[in-house]
Amino acid sequence: MDFELSEDQRAFQATARAFARERLLPNAGKWDDERHFPAAELREAAQLGFGGIYVPEEHGGTGLTRLDAALIFEELAYADPSTTGFLTIHNMVAGMISRFGDDEQRARYLPKIIAGDHFVSYCLTEPGSGSDAAALKTRAEAEGENYRINGTKAFISGGGVADLYVTMLRTGDDSSKGISCVVVEDNTPGLSFGLPERKMGWNSQPTAQVQFTDCLVPQSNRLGREGEGFRFAMIGLDGGRINIAACSLGGAQACLDTALAYVKERRAFGRPIADFQAVQFKLADMATELDAARLMVHRAAASLDAKSPDATKHCAMAKRFATDICHRICDEALQLHGGYGYIKDYQVERYLRDLRVHRILEGTNEIMRVIIARKLLEAA
């Protein structure tokens, strides 16, 4: 087992780090305050190869591994977990189209997605089905060569600004085998959006309901066969869980670094607070737990790359552990800053707010525990 990064990995890690510090970090606080979607910067990221990170080169992508992607997303999230979170979804959808689409669909969609000319959203959750995703109600009825779609998706990142919506729809019975995956293009008649949600964090990307009212979409926009959509969704989420865990690593590392610098400068009782053992122990725990989380995320990514039978379990474990631990590290960093941590100028509170949702999306951490327990019991 080799824990050292390759020369290539260090190179694209450095590229991501430089882009994050130069193009994201100086603006992230402003984007958060103004709820601004940084489309231009996301397109710049795509031009660096970050719009189709694990899409194979023969499909126009960068052709990197899931571990490579985790390294990139951690560096980007060090500056801005919210904007990076949107980019992870963009990459997840690009990967799904690459893997499950046919040649015509790849040629039609992937070039613009990978270049950042088209942004994409992933539509699974509904107002009445979150953790129980297989209970979705949005229906697509076959009508000639089209589907007539009616229903609503909720909490959709990029809702209202994306160009493509990869959507899980019920085309058959009420089981998970009755779900299909269809690409719905923006400006399709019958496609509309709710007002942007007012959120605790992730404010640089809009989140809104995606609504379908007699929305006619060609059946040729379906990825794979009818009834394969739920399987596609679950496969996509394995990688999505690694991605969001990697974003948590980046945010937590930024907060730890900020806290380390602060405790050396801040003085109390005549000396830097870094001299106090209580502060030192807290920093030691933060660094140790962050390193443990990083190792779990990298193991899960390597497991997914190797198509290990334990990949789903490893991804769920990494997502559960990293998102819980990293949110706690941000909270500890804020505590070390005292009252200043609660002020936006130091930005620790932005990371705390952004990382909070990571424990909910891509499957709540309670659902991660369900997945882990099932896998353990199956093997027992």
Residues 89 and 149 occupy one common structural domain? no
Residues 221 and 361 occupy one common structural domain? no
Specify if 180 maps to a domain: yes
Specify if 2 maps to a domain: no
- 76, 98, 119 - which closes a domain: 119
Residues 284 and 206 occupy one common structural domain? no
101 φ/ψ angles, rounded to the nearest 5 degrees: -80, 165
Q: Per residue of the chain (380 residues), what is the pLDDT tens digit? A: 788 999 999 999 999 999 999 999 999 999 999 999 999 999 999 999 999 999 999 999 999 999 999 999 999 999 999 999 999 999 999 999 999 999 999 999 999 999 999 999 999 999 988 788 888 999 999 999 999 999 999 999 999 999 999 999 999 999 999 999 999 999 999 999 999 999 999 999 999 999 999 999 999 999 999 999 999 999 999 999 999 999 999 999 999 999 999 999 999 999 999 999 999 999 999 999 999 999 999 999 999 999 999 999 999 999 999 999 999 999 999 999 999 999 999 899 999 999 999 999 999 999 999 999 999 999 87
- 171, 197, 226 - which closes a domain: 226
Q: Six-digit token pair at 42?
A: 């996301």
Residues 236 and 346 occupy one common structural domain? yes
Residues 109 and 139 occupy one common structural domain? no
Give 265's contacts (C-beta < 8 A, 6+ positions apart): 272
Q: What is the pTM of this model?
A: 0.96
- The CATH code of the domain that includes 249 is 1.20.140.10
Told to judge if 362 belongs to the known catalytic residues of this protein, a careful annotator would answer yes
Residues 221 and 311 occupy one common structural domain? no
The span from the CA of 103 to the CA of 97, in Å, is 10
Give the residue ranges of DSSP H helices in the chain. 7-19, 25-34, 39-45, 66-79, 81-100, 103-115, 229-265, 277-305, 311-336, 348-356, 365-379
Task: Specify the pLDDT at position 308.
Answer: 96
CA dihedral 361, 253, 43, 8 (to 10 degrees): -110
Residues 104 and 162 occupy one common structural domain? no
Residue-averaged pLDDT of the chain: 96
The domain containing residue 88 runs over which residues?
7-119
- 76, 103, 119 - which closes a domain: 119
Q: How far is CA 141 from the centre of its chain?
A: 31
- The CATH code of the domain that includes 16 is 1.10.540.10
Instruction: Give DSSP secondary structure letters for 217-261.
Output: EEGGGEESSTT-HHHHHHHHHHHHHHHHHHHHHHHHHHHHHHHHH
Q: Which of 41, 126, 332, 362 is catalytic?
A: 362
- The CATH code of the domain that includes 181 is 2.40.110.10
- The number of distinct structural domains making up the chain is 3
Task: Specify the pLDDT at position 134.
Answer: 85
